[in-house]
Structure 1
Amino acid sequence: MQRAIFSEEHDLFRDAVRRFLEREVVPHQHAWNEAGSVDREAWRKAGEAGLLCPWMPEEYGGAGGDFLHSVVVIEELARIYESGFAMPLHSDIVVPYIQAYGSKAQKERWLPACASGEVVTAVAMTEPGTGSDLAAISTTARRDGDQWVLDGTKTFISNAILCDLCIVAARTGGEGTDPHQALSLFLVPAGTPGFVKGRKLAKMGMASQDTAELFFEDCRIPADHLLGAEGTGFLMLMQKLQQERLAVAVTAQAAAQQVLADTIAYTKERHAFGRPLTKFQNTSFKLAECATEVEVGQAFIDRLVTEHMSGQYLVKECSMAKLWQTEMLGRVVDTCLQMFGGYGYMLEYPVTRAFMDARVQRIYAGTSEIMKVIIAKQMGL
């Protein structure tokens, strides 16, 4: 079906994003995969090209666009199978916390640098013993005069090695405090004494995205590095997780679309027993099933993005999208990989990397099981 959510301006932006990625990303993908991280220079170039935080108001150095510009970036990254250049994490998950809850001084200090690529961000929620249960976070922050002192460990943090600024969730409420009022968020710059970046973690997929542990040991930050009001961290996380899960769903949808398109092209060219693979009924039926799922998913995502931009409360729907789109991606990429036979097991083929990258989509930003819990609660069950 024809997509109707993008304007001519978005189409022009897509052309610019595509040219940038072909010029500045595609030639370096293999090297980045080998290194386990993206070059810092690529971040600065992305900022110069207006690809970072494209929705940010011009007064803070942004392009004054909207979330659809971010959707374009997400989709174009999927088109080239680039899962490690975490622009969506930076632009649409981390920086919005500063935009929404930061003080005027915090915005003026950090937002322009986030848009230019001079500052790369990360968010530290997950801990070794705490995944989706944010109320169980054990990292602490205690007030000491005009400073906050952080102690704790975070893990599975994307952009951890590259980050210049990390938003850290820590417990500020004492024993007996309501868990939902005990968390606060803090802006912790890299280089702060006591903020230690740990080992880079070896992962199954997303080879060029640096993921690591973070340690906070008597880490002292100025009192004005508290983001928002003390004790409102859980509420802020819940509010922003809606867009985070939507961004993951958009990523999964775009990845499924690209894998399917490339598989159709491959099966038309690949011959077995004297005819193209597409002429075998099993192949055509399987691809028809995948195409149906992708088409249905796109219609849902496009409507959801439109409603999200209007400011609607869509916790249930975003959780549904995160659940369905990531599970759908798993089904589609597994089916498509099978079409490649032995080549589907070779890392030189994009479908193989897509298969590995897809698995974590059902885990981060809330597992599929957690999405079902949220959906059920929103249904009053």
Structure 2
Amino acid sequence: MPMPMPTTPATLDRFLTPSHQALWADADAFAQEQVLPLVERMESAPSRVDRKLARLMANRRWFGVTVPAAFGGMQAGHVAKTILIHRLARVSGAAAAILQASLIPVAALLHFGNSDQRTALLPSVADGSMLMSIAVTEPDQGGHIGGMKASAEWDGTAWVLSGTKAHVGNSHIADLHVVVARTAPHGTRTSQALTAFLVRTDQRGVHVHRHTSKLGLHGFGFGLISFDRVRIPSENVLGEEGQGFAVAQSSSVLYGRPNLAAVSLGLHESAVALTAQYISARPRSKGTLADLGVVRDRLGQMSAREIMARILAYHAVDMLDRGLPCDMELITAKGIGHELASDTGTDAMELHGANALDDSYPLQRVWRDMQTTYAPAGTGEVQRIRLAEGLLQEHRRSPEQTDDSGRIAWSVLLADRIRPARLDPAAAV
């Protein structure tokens, strides 16, 4: 059953311009009219990657939401990006994941690409004719970047890349991958040992493994890619040799964390709305479940969490758009946003009783999708450790001071590179 499409909540008025509000309405209409009809098909075929949704969003140029207008992008900023992901996730976590996953490598290209790379690639990103992925995580190492085994060696004419990457968002539909690999001997500091490369899917030696179903986000491909002696010319190094750690970490902090906060927020909102609908219609004694005080207490707690998560998510990206230091806010939005959504998901499942176990109820899909936002861009423990380090003033402020734990304020260091993609109200819709 389609959920009602509310207007923008008053809690966000200080963050949203009229252009943002128009984009919000456009995203809601798209989600209801174009995405919702595809959800049942994606859920019924969990081993299949959906390609239609990406085409539909590409036609709207949403993959270029933060790309500067000079390259054909919307130049609409991070609040606009959050609106798109948030509103899509309210209807389909998979649709939101498809969009957000391709925006992270776009950040890497924006922040570290040279003039030739940006000129050659960003127009195709902006018009949706080329989708990107970022490949950092490995099967045995997870998010431990320092333990990375994929490596590339210079043979005199090209870099030769070999290794395997796991959990690559949009692995099966991306045309171009940002691949981070080791280019220095083990023992070299992580901040200097890795390099990022631009690798095309159709290059010899690139193998995208067969997609297998996951717990949630059915329709979204986040899979395994192997690289077997793939030859990469020097002009396809992204950034400088030895700068791969910075490419991966900055993209994760400035795009990955707020993107996942937006996915969590949309799912959170959906869980609250579905539960309110359910308890209002579920008979109990002479009324409904909604008449019971104990049930209202739990629903009220769910609503409070949703409001907190919403403010956290939009406050952080508003700061990013305004060029303010906000690493801690981005970390909080992701880490706490997931925790709040997860707690609400548990309450929603319990208030649905045994019906929560029935896949004919959409809450089950929402709950499964919620589980997918915990690990990417750092687990909850990682986020809290980073917050503690910030409180203890352990963050470094320049590339020369970067240590292996990545303690650096990326919103400060890359402020001049983020600023060109700030909001252009006329281009937001």
Give the TM-score band, short-chain normalised. over 0.9
8 Å Cα contact 2:86/2:263 also seen in 1: yes
What TM-score results when the alignment is normalised by the length of structure 2? 0.84
Matched positions, count = 381
Q: How does 1:275-314 map to 2 (within 5 A)?
A: 275-314=287-326
When structure 1 is superposed on structure 2, of 242-251 and 227-236 the one drifting more is 242-251
1:320-361 Cα distance to aligned partner (Å, 9 max, x none)? 222111011110011012222222112222211111111121
Aligned to 1:70, the other structure's residue is in SS state helix
* Aligned counterpart, 2:31: 21
8 Å Cα contact 2:195/2:241 also seen in 1: yes
8 Å Cα contact 2:180/2:244 also seen in 1: yes
8 Å Cα contact 2:279/2:288 also seen in 1: yes
Q: How does 1:159-178 map to 2 (within 5 A)?
A: 159-178=170-189
Q: Which runs of 5+ in 1 are unaligned?
A: none
8 Å Cα contact 1:256/1:329 also seen in 2: yes
Q: Distance between the aligned counterparts of 1:176 and 1:296, measured in 2?
A: 43
- Are positions 1:266 and 2:266 aligned together? no
- 2:356 counterpart (329, 344, 368): 344
Whose RCO is larger (CA < 8 A, sep 6+)?
Answer: 2
8 Å Cα contact 1:38/1:85 also seen in 2: no
- 1:118 counterpart (108, 129, 132): 129
Report the CA distance between 1:85 and its aligned residue.
5.1
Q: State the one-letter code of the partner of 1:278.
A: A
8 Å Cα contact 1:90/1:120 also seen in 2: no
Q: 1:91 to 1:161 in 2, by over 3 A?
A: closer
Identity over the aligned pairs, expressed in percent?
24
1:81-140 Cα distance to aligned partner (Å, 9 max, x none)? 332453433453121111111122211222122222221211111111211211211110
Q: Which runs of 5+ in 2 are unaligned?
A: 1-9, 395-429
* Aligned counterpart, 1:329: 341
8 Å Cα contact 2:179/2:197 also seen in 1: yes
Aligned to 1:128, the other structure's residue is in SS state coil
CA RMSD of the aligned region, Å?
Answer: 1.8
8 Å Cα contact 1:135/1:179 also seen in 2: yes
* Aligned counterpart, 1:245: 257
Q: 1:37 to 1:15 in 2, by over 3 A?
A: farther
Q: State the one-letter code of the partner of 1:3.
A: L
Q: 1:175 to 1:87 in 2, by over 3 A?
A: closer
Q: How does 1:141-160 map to 2 (within 5 A)?
A: 141-160=152-171
- 1:2 counterpart (8, 11, 26): 11
When structure 1 is superposed on structure 2, of 95-104 and 82-91 the one drifting more is 82-91
Q: Distance between the aligned counterparts of 1:37 and 1:114, measured in 2?
A: 24
Q: Distance between the aligned counterparts of 1:286 and 1:322, measured in 2?
A: 23
Report the CA distance between 1:38 and its aligned residue.
4.8
Q: 1:85 to 1:305 in 2, by over 3 A?
A: closer
Q: 1:45 to 1:295 in 2, by over 3 A?
A: closer
Q: Distance between the aligned counterparts of 2:225 and 2:167, measured in 1?
A: 9
Q: Distance between the aligned counterparts of 2:198 and 2:292, measured in 1?
A: 57
8 Å Cα contact 1:44/1:116 also seen in 2: no
- Are positions 1:365 and 2:408 aligned together? no
